[in-house]
Every structure is written in C-alpha cells, then in structure tokens.
Amino acid sequence: MNIVVLVKQVPDTWSERRLRADDSTLDRDAADAVINELDDYAIEEGLRLQEAHGGEVTIVSMGPQKAADAIRKALSMGADKAVHVTDEALRGSDGLVTSAVLASVLGRTGFDLVILGSESTDARMGTLAAMLAERLGVPQMSFASKVETDGSKITIHRQADYGYDTVEGALPAVVSVVEKINEPRYPSFKGIMAAKKKPVETLSLADLGMDASQAGLAASATQVVSFANRPPRAAGTIVTDEGDGGAKAAEFLASRKFI
Amino acid sequence: MAGVEREARDETTAALFALASQIAADELRPRAGAAEQEGRFPREVFATLGKAGLLSLPYPQELGGGGQPYEIYLQVVEELATAWLAIGLGVSVHTLTCFPIATAGTSQQQDRWLPGMLGGDQLGAYCLSEPDSGSDAAGLATRAVPDGDEFVINGVKAWTTHGGQADFYTVFARTSGEPGGPGRAQGISCFHVPAGTAGVSAAPPEHKMGVRSSATAQVRFEAARVSSRQLIGEPGRGFPIALAALDAGRLGIAACATGVAQAALDCAVGYARQRVQFGRPVIDFEGLQFMLADMATAVAAARALYLAAARRKDAGLPYGQQAAMAKLLASDTAMRVSTDAVQVLGGYGYVEDFPAERLMREAKMLQIVEGTNQIQRMVIGRQLARSA
C-alpha cells in the first residue's frame, strides 16, 4: 500500500508564539520548531498500516528549509522516504493554497491512503483534509480514532462528542486522525542513523509546474488583516469563606457554566 | 527548564540528544518522584529505552550496538540521570555488564549472546562484590569448580544492581587459589550466567537510603551449573576484565553524578528565582547568588572532567586514572551541590514536596558505588607513585 503522511512543522506549543508585526504571518524565529503534535499520530498510524499491509510510507511536508528537521524525525520513526516542498514564494500561504500545492505533490507521488493530523497547533483551521479530498476527488475520512482497511476498502471510527460513527469508504482516500488513535513511538537510534540515508526529494513551486503568483500571502484567499495580543490575565475572583464559601464557589462556577 | 545545551558533533548526535531529552521529559521526569517513594523497579522504562536503542550505545554496530564514542554515550546517560538517577544508573550498569563479552568474549560468544544483550529486551547485572569483599575485590570467595564440561558455582554476591530483575548476570568467581592466599587475583574467572540458570536466586531487595526504585540485592549461587562455553576470557584472567570494565563503568557513574548535580542545581535556581523574601526574589541576594554560582561552576567542572576522560578512552589512550578522577570529582560535586540545594530551599528543601532532599540522598550512593571515593583516590595516587 502506498501511504503518504502529511507532516507540518509548527512552533512548539510550550514556547511563546507570536505573529509578525509587518505582515501578520507566523513568526517562525520566535519559537522552537517541532512536528505538529497530531502528525506524530498520523505517522504512527501510517507505520502500523504499513507493518500490517506492506508497502511504503512517504512523508510529505511543505515548509521552510528548517522543516527538514521535522522530516528527518519522521524518517527516524520509520518512514521510507520524503518529499519536501520548499519555496520562498510559499510564505504566508493559507489553507486553500496549501491544499493546492499538496494536491499537486500527491498527484506526483500517487497514493492509496493519505494520512494527516486533524489540525495543526499553529493555524488550527482543521480543514486541510476536506480541501485535499475535494481537490483529489477521493473520500474524506476525518477525525479517525480507529482505521481498518483490507487494501481496497477503508473503515474508520469518526470521533464525536457522543461517541463515534463508523464510516466506510473506498481507497484511495484521505484520513485525518485524532490523538485517541494510537500511542506514537519514539524514534530509535538505529532509525536516526538510517534516516540519514533515506531519500528526501526537495521540490520548488516550479518543479510542481506552479507559478509564484499562485502561492504565498498575496495569492491566498484569506489573510490576517489585524491581530491583538492576548490581554494579560486579569486578577482572579477571591471567595471569602464566611461559612458559606462552598456555596459561593459553586455559584461562581455555575455562573461561568463550569458546573 | 531549557536543559543542558550539548555539543553535538553532527545531525545524528543532535537527534540522539533530542531523543534522550524527549524520553527524559516524557517518560522519566514525571514518574521519578512517585517511583522513588514506592520503591518500584520500572522495568517498562527500560523496555522503552531498549526499543529506542539507548541500552547499547557504546558498542560496535557490528555487534548490535549504536557505535557511539563514550563522549556521546555518557552525555545520554547524564541526560537520563538528571531526570531519574535509577534509570541513568541502570543504563550505566547494563553497559558495564556487556563489557566482558564485548571486549574479551570469543566471536562465537559474541554471536550467541550479544544480540540479546544489546538488543534492548534484556537487562544485565554485574556480580563482583560480596558481603565480605567490597573494596578488596580480589578477595572474593565465590567458587566456580570445573566438573567435566561444566563449572559449578557456589557463593553469595552483594550490592547487585538489578539483582532479581536482571535477565543475565556477569559473574566473577574463583576457579583457583584462596581469597586470602598468594596470587589470589590470578584465580578469578568471568562467567556469563542467564538469570534462569538453576541454582541462581536473588534475596529481597535492600532497603536503601535513596535510589529506591533501582533494585539492589544479594544474588545467591547454589550449585549453579554453567557450561565452560560461558566462561569469558581465559580461566584465571577474570580480574583484569573486572578492573577494565570498572574503568569504563566509572565514567558512567561520573555522568550519572553530573546529572544528579545538574538536577539539584536546576531545582535550586528555579526555586531561588521565584521565591520572594524581603520584597525580591531570593536569587537577587548575593549570599544565595554566590552559592548558586559555585554550584553551577562545580557542575560544569564535573561535566568537563568526565568528557575529558571519555575523549582519552575514545582516542585509545590509557584513561583509568582520569576515569577515577572524574568519578571522584563528579560524585563529590553531586553530594555538595545537592546538599547546598537543600540549603537554598530552606525548609522546603528538607521535605518531600521538592526533589532536593531526594537528590541529596541519591548523591550519597554515588560516592560509594563502583569503588568508594577512597578507592578512587587510591587508583589516582598509585598512578602518581608509579609515574613519579
């Protein structure tokens, strides 16, 4: 089975994240860069399906030069090869542009199954699976907490507030996963050493037959027009216990709809 | 906590350090305190380390190891020990137990046992010390008597790290001579003994002052039969193997001690920055700031010394004296820095809500194991007398 896992490098959720003052895009220098957390689960699921059904796992990532670190980590977990789309003209691309670029890459690599995290921790649009499926004309199997396939048909549990739906579709398909799906493995040291020798194809927009005018901030359908930093945390409410502290605390929580 | 910035020589070692610090942050640090209180041996953590390839780093790739120089391997041990000493120590001890077969075993022995020992599934223990023979290791009394194609081992080993938990024991036993007789060191041989061997059993673990999640136990050998193919090296040539293994093992202990000292420093600095007295963080008071400066300097010196010794080993130079110096300095540093950390935290340092008191108890062990610090001074001093 030809499995493609989409990986995005994002600023570490544990560090302070900022937007740039000049064009309201992500300030990538402000924070450590890591693999998007949900993508770890996507990689793990790809590797498990490969272990069960054979075939290859290809990592596809669109991002700056530095995203090569995220790709290498994915390869050290066990993926076979990677495609890195990097081009200065891509900076500031929104979801629609990103999905167009990735669809073009997937057209080159071919695929039976595309797996991705259900959202990224930076932009948090959560729409890429839908956009990609639409562009590729294949079923969209989103928010999967379980994936089963026999090689021609795919069944997932789609995670929902009330439990899960069982959804079935035909391959090829696009699957987005939630963190409930598995427990991602750590890379191994042997995997780290092997990753050095695995092929990584680097593609520019021109390599994909796309023009710089079709990508980046200017070509994006959506743009951040302004932003405000989160206000500093306000002082908390102090409940003085005069024998009725429990009731007052409960009232406060109820007023905020916590209970 | 940002962690120690390490000097990676290339992308591979940078990725290795990142892997070690990720496992330390996700798997070790959150569990260490509770496991120490419960005194529970964390076998599953060693399974995770084994899968990640961190239990075989310094052995050649042809033998199934990671092919890493000691300079790199030891920094991984330090990283793990900073988060949880029992784990860093366990990695160091396991590495020590593989040393005899990896360096003195025949290629048949290496082919037969090393894949398992270095594969990450197995954990080893090192049986040298006995109840009546510690610093004077050549006085060991456990006997291995030849019987046809076998040896029959009888005796008791003491202070065995992973005793009762290990999958195999690297055992030193007397094949000739008497513990107090002439040429006693030339009567010691080295054996590879799987834990399932009939006649091998472990006593309940010792109740230690610290490092309670690491099992330390007596191991008994009662007419335990092993094949002569399990003899590592020539008969009577076990003691030099034991000493060579200890030279390497001491570097591991030095790295562990540096980790404990680093953890104590991190704890003290973190506290001193947020603890406000007299209207300002206590780190702004010179009395404490100078103490922290001395602690940070001592930790950096300990790290530099073990790395210098490691580079000698990696370059194929003699390093026994330097390893003893590194073990001595790093463990004395761990003791002093952890004691000072308790002082920086004041009352909070003396209670279990903060890790300072635990680190102080852990540091004490490192001044004792793999040669007390008095023995280290003996090793260093003898070298001075010889080369003078």
Which of the residues of B are catalytic?
A: 370
Q: Specify whether B131 is located in the same domain as B219.
A: yes
Residue A101: the pLDDT is 96
Q: Is B371's pLDDT higher than 90?
A: yes
| Of residues B356 and B386, more confidently modeled | B356
Residue B387, token pair as written in the block: 């080369």
d(CA B216, CA B21): 26
d(CA A216, CA B225): 73
Query: How many structural domains is chain A composed of?
Result: 1
What ipTM was reported for this prediction? 0.84
Q: Specify whether B229 is located in the same domain as B301.
A: no
Domain of A6, CATH number, reads 3.40.50.620
* B15/A187 touch (CB, cutoff 8 Å), yes or no: yes
**Is A162 at the interface with chain B, CB within 8 A?**
no
Percent of chain A at pLDDT > 90 equals 71
Q: Is B232's pLDDT higher than 60?
A: yes
Which of A15, A16, A192 would best serve as a mutation to test chain B binding (most B beta carbons within 10 A)?
A192
Domain of B332, CATH number, reads 1.20.140.10
What is the tens place of the pLDDT at every residue in B10-63? Answer: 889 999 999 999 999 999 999 999 999 999 999 999 999 999 999 999 999 999
Q: Specify whether B289 is located in the same domain as B231.
A: no
Average pLDDT of every residue of chain A? 93
Average pLDDT of every residue of chain B? 96
Residue B81, token pair as written in the block: 């020990």
- Mean pLDDT, to the nearest integer, of A50-64? 96
Helix (H, G, I), strand (E, B) or coil at A154: strand
Burial class of residue B258 (count of CB atoms within 10 Å of its CB; 0-12, 13-18, 19+): buried
What is the tens place of the pLDDT at every residue in B266-316? Answer: 999 999 999 999 999 999 999 999 999 999 999 999 999 999 999 999 999
- Mean pLDDT, to the nearest integer, of B159-167? 97
Domain of B191, CATH number, reads 2.40.110.10
HSE-CB for A121 with a 13 A CA cutoff: 20
Instruction: Please list every residue in chain B whose beta carbon sits closer than 8 Å to the beta carbon of residue A185.
Output: 51
Residue B204 lies in a domain: yes
Q: Which domain holds residue B63?
A: 11-118
Q: For residue B189, list its beta bridge partners.
A: B173
Considering B239, B267, B295, which residue would you say is the last residue of a domain? B239
Residue B6 lies in a domain: no
Residue A122: the pLDDT is 84
- Identify the weakest region by mean pLDDT among A87-91, A205-209, B383-387: B383-387
Q: Specify whether B104 is located in the same domain as B137.
A: no
Query: How many structural domains is chain B composed of?
Result: 3
What is the tens place of the pLDDT at every residue in B242-267? Answer: 999 999 999 999 999 999 999 999 99
Alpha carbon dihedral B366, B371, B372, B375, in 10-degree steps, equals: -150
Report the relative pairing of strands B188-194 and B231-232 from DSSP bridges: antiparallel
Q: Specify whether B54 is located in the same domain as B144.
A: no
Residue A236: the pLDDT is 82
Who among B11, B16, B22 is closest to A189 (CB)? B16
Q: Specify whether B76 is located in the same domain as B143.
A: no
Q: Specify whether B56 is located in the same domain as B31.
A: yes
Q: Is A241's pLDDT higher than 90?
A: no
Who among B11, B22, B66 is closest to A189 (CB)? B66
* B11/A189 touch (CB, cutoff 8 Å), yes or no: no
Instruction: Please list every residue in chain A whose beta carbon sits closer than 8 Å to the beta carbon of residue B57.
Output: 189
The identity of residue A218, as a single letter, is A
Residue B2: the pLDDT is 55
Confidence of residue B236 (pLDDT cuts 50, 70, 90): very high
Is the preceding omega at residue A232 within 30 degrees of 0, hence cis?
A: no
Confidence of residue A121 (pLDDT cuts 50, 70, 90): confident
Who among B15, B23, B51 is closest to A192 (CB)? B15
Residue B1: the pLDDT is 45
Instruction: Please list every residue in chain B whose beta carbon sits closer than 8 Å to the beta carbon of residue A192.
Output: 12, 15-16, 19
Taking CA–CA distances from B119, the nearest residue in chain A reads: A190
Q: Specify whether B368 is located in the same domain as B257.
A: yes
Taking CA–CA distances from B64, the nearest residue in chain A reads: A190
- Mean pLDDT, to the nearest integer, of B97-121? 95
Whole-prediction pTM: 0.89
> Is the separation of the CB atoms in B212 and B358 below 8 Å?
no
- Identify the weakest region by mean pLDDT among A123-132, B68-77, B161-170: A123-132
**Is A37 at the interface with chain B, CB within 8 A?**
no
* A76/B51 touch (CB, cutoff 8 Å), yes or no: no
> Is the separation of the CB atoms in B260 and B211 below 8 Å?
no
- Mean pLDDT, to the nearest integer, of A251-258? 89
Which of B9, B13, B19 would best serve as a mutation to test chain A binding (most A beta carbons within 10 A)?
B19
Domain of B44, CATH number, reads 1.10.540.10
Residue A34 lies in a domain: yes
Residue B4 lies in a domain: no
* A189/B57 touch (CB, cutoff 8 Å), yes or no: yes
Confidence of residue B388 (pLDDT cuts 50, 70, 90): low
Q: Specify whether B235 is located in the same domain as B246.
A: no
- Mean pLDDT, to the nearest integer, of A121-136? 92
d(CA B240, CA B224): 24
What helix, strand, coil percent values describe chain B, rounded to 5? 55, 15, 30
CA neighbor of B189 nearest in space, from B132, B140, B234, B243: B234
Residue A246 lies in a domain: no
Q: Specify whether B205 is located in the same domain as B320.
A: no
Considering B118, B138, B159, which residue would you say is the last residue of a domain? B118
* A188/B57 touch (CB, cutoff 8 Å), yes or no: no
Residue B294 lies in a domain: yes
* CA-based nearest distance B46→chain A, Å: 13
Q: Which domain holds residue A192?
A: 2-214
What is the tens place of the pLDDT at every residue in A162-219? Answer: 999 999 999 999 999 999 999 999 999 999 999 999 999 999 999 999 999 989 988 8
Q: Specify whether B362 is located in the same domain as B286.
A: yes
Considering B118, B147, B168, which residue would you say is the last residue of a domain? B118
What is the tens place of the pLDDT at every residue in A179-194? Answer: 999 999 999 999 999 9
- Mean pLDDT, to the nearest integer, of A107-126? 92
Residue B79 lies in a domain: yes
* CA-based nearest distance B242→chain A, Å: 28
* B52/A196 touch (CB, cutoff 8 Å), yes or no: no
Confidence of residue B384 (pLDDT cuts 50, 70, 90): very high
Which of B1, B11, B51 would best serve as a mutation to test chain A binding (most A beta carbons within 10 A)?
B11
Name every residue in B having a CB less than 8 A away from some CB of A: 11-12, 15-16, 19, 22-23, 48, 51-54, 57, 66
Residue A102: the pLDDT is 97
